[in-house]
Amino acid sequence: MEAYYNYIKALHLIFVVTWFAGLFYIPRLFIYHIEALEKPSPDREILANQLRLMTRRLWKIITWPSAILCTFFAAWLLLLMPGWLSQPWMHVKLTFVLLLFIYHLRTHQIYRQLQKDEARYTSNYMRIWNEGATLVLFAVTFLVILKNAVNWIYGLAGLILLAILLMLGIRLYKRIRDKNPEA
């Protein structure tokens, strides 16, 4: 089976990329859907119908299957390389993967609400929500490349700094958008 290791790793990475693509794009569709629900008829109905369709296709055809296949190939890699489970960086990585699944499942709840045109959050909240997957991606990528959980304090400080920069970017975008709605 070790002869297939690189093929399995490649498939795992492909599905990591497609899973994250779905997790990055779906909150953007949520933002558009929430804003469409604030429009007058008939724009509201036309846009909401189209966004429900786009969101359903993204979520069911790309994001969920990618999450499942990513996990399948990751488990297969761990079966081939069981020693990884004894390494501290892998424990931290798996913690972030668990957080990613929690994020995914919470996003699924929001997806189900918006499929019924129930907007329980503002579009600004969804802009902030959109950055959750970004933070996990940064953390996991650095852990996998550096394979070092010892300097977790520096990593945590970096994640906090990244989160602050993302929030400042969201605020700046909101100001620009409030001044120019076409932006």
> Which residue, 50, 46, 54, is CA-closest to 27?
54
Q: What percent of the chain has pLDDT over 70?
A: 96
> Which residue, 1, 27, 22, is CA-closest to 131?
27
**What is the spatial distance between Cα 83 and Cα 85, in angstroms, rounded to a whole number?**
5
> Which residue, 131, 111, 108, is CA-closest to 34?
111
**What is the spatial distance between Cα 54 and Cα 27, in angstroms, rounded to a whole number?**
12
Radius of gyration (C-alpha) of the chain in whole angstroms:
19
pLDDT confidence of residue 75: 97
Output the known binding site for heme: 12, 93
Q: How many domains is the chain built from?
A: 1
Estimate the crossing angle of helix 64-80 against helix 5-36, to 10 degrees.
150
Token output for 2: 């070790």
DSSP H helical ranges for the chain: 5-36, 43-57, 64-80, 88-115, 123-129, 132-146, 152-179
Q: Which domain holds residue 141?
A: 2-179
pLDDT confidence of residue 169: 86
DSSP reduced 3-state for 81:
coil
Query: pLDDT tens digit string along 21-41?
Result: 999 999 999 999 999 999 999
Output the known binding site: 12, 93
- Residue ranges of the chain with per-residue pLDDT less than 50: none
Ramachandran bin of 117, using left for φ above 0, alpha for ψ from -120 to 50, beta for the remaining angles:
left
Report the 3 state secondary structure along 89-123: HHHHHHHHHHHHHHHHHHHHHHHHHHHCCCCCCCH
Query: pLDDT tens digit string along 133-142?
Result: 998 998 898 8
